[in-house]
Amino acid sequence: MNNKSIIKLILHEHPWEILQARIDHARVTNQPLYESPFWFENTETGRCYHALYSCIGWPTEVQESKDEQPGYVAIVGVIRPTKELEHYNPVNANFLLLNEFQSKDVGTLLDKAVEMREKYGYGVQPELLKVFYGDPDRFLTTVALYNERLAKKYGNENSAILITPPVDFYDTMVFDNYIRSLRSCLLPDKTRFFFGGNDILKNNLREFKKENPAVMAIGGLVHSLLTVCTWMNNVGENMFAVEEKAA
C-alpha cells in the first residue's frame, strides 16, 4: 500500500459472495453492469468513492498573437454515498473534483501529477490512478525522459506516467463534445459534477477560452465516464482485481 496516500481500499466482508450475488442480480434483472464489492475511503474526510481518476491537459502552443494558457492536472472521485449502502445502483453516481493544479511548465505539471496520484491512492489497488486521461501525443520526449527518471528513482518501470486519450479525443468536434458533456453535469436541476471548493476549473469555465487545457482535461474525463461508466463491472467480463493483501 502507498504509505503517502490518504486513500484506503475498503473490501466487503464477504467479497466473493457479494460479487456473485450482484452478478446474479444483474443477470436476472437484465442489467449489463454491477457494482464492485470494494470501494475507497478518504481517511481524512471519511468520504467514500467507487473509483478515482486522473487527467492532464497540456499548456497551449506558444504563439505571438495570444497568451499561452497553462496546463492542468486534476483528480476526480466518483462518489459512493455511504459505506453501508448495499442496494444501490451507482450508474448515475456524482463526480467530485478532489484536487487540481495548473502551470505553464511541463516539468512542474508532471511533478504535481506524481504528487497527486501518490496522495490519492496510486498503488492502493492495481488499477487505481494507473493512467491519466489526456493527449498522449504531445511532449512525447519530455514524458519519456521524465519516466526514465521515475524508474531510476523508484527502481520500477511500472511507476511511469501513462497517458490515455479520452473517448472521442480524435473527433474533429472534440472541444464541443467535451464542454457539452461537462455542462450536462452542471445543470442546476441535475448536477452531477461538484467543484469541492476548488477554483481553477471554475474560473476557467467563466473565462471560457477555446481549447482551454483545464476544460479539455476535465471535459474529456467526464465525457469518458459518462460514455463508459468505468467504475462499474460488465457482467460479461466478471472482473475482480483486488490485491490479495487487501482481503
pLDDT tens, residue by residue, 189-238:
999 999 999 999 999 999 888 889 999 999 999 999 999 988 876 656 54
Sign of the torsion angle spanned by Cα atoms 145, 104, 223, 211: negative
- Where residue 154 falls among pLDDT bands split at 50, 70, 90? confident
Lookup result for grid cell 511507476: 159
* pLDDT tens digits along 48-97: 999 999 999 999 988 766 688 999 999 999 999 887 766 667 889 999 99
Domain 7-246 has CATH 3.30.420: yes
Whether the Cβ atoms of residue 76 and residue 133 lie closer than 8 Å to each other: no
> What distances in angstroms separate CA 208 from CA 69, 196, 233, one per listed residue?
11, 20, 35
What is the share, in percent, of the chain residues with pLDDT greater than 90? 64
Supply the mean pLDDT for the chain. Answer: 86
CA gap 42, 48 in Å, rounded: 6
Q: So what's the pLDDT on residue 229?
A: 86
Task: Using the CB atoms, write b or e for 110-136: b if 16+ within 10 Å.
Answer: bebbbebbbbbbbbbbeebbebbbbbb
Inter-residue contact 56 to 71 (CB < 8 Å) = yes
Is the pLDDT higher at 194 or at 125? 194
The domain ranges of the chain are 7-246
Three-state SS at 191: coil
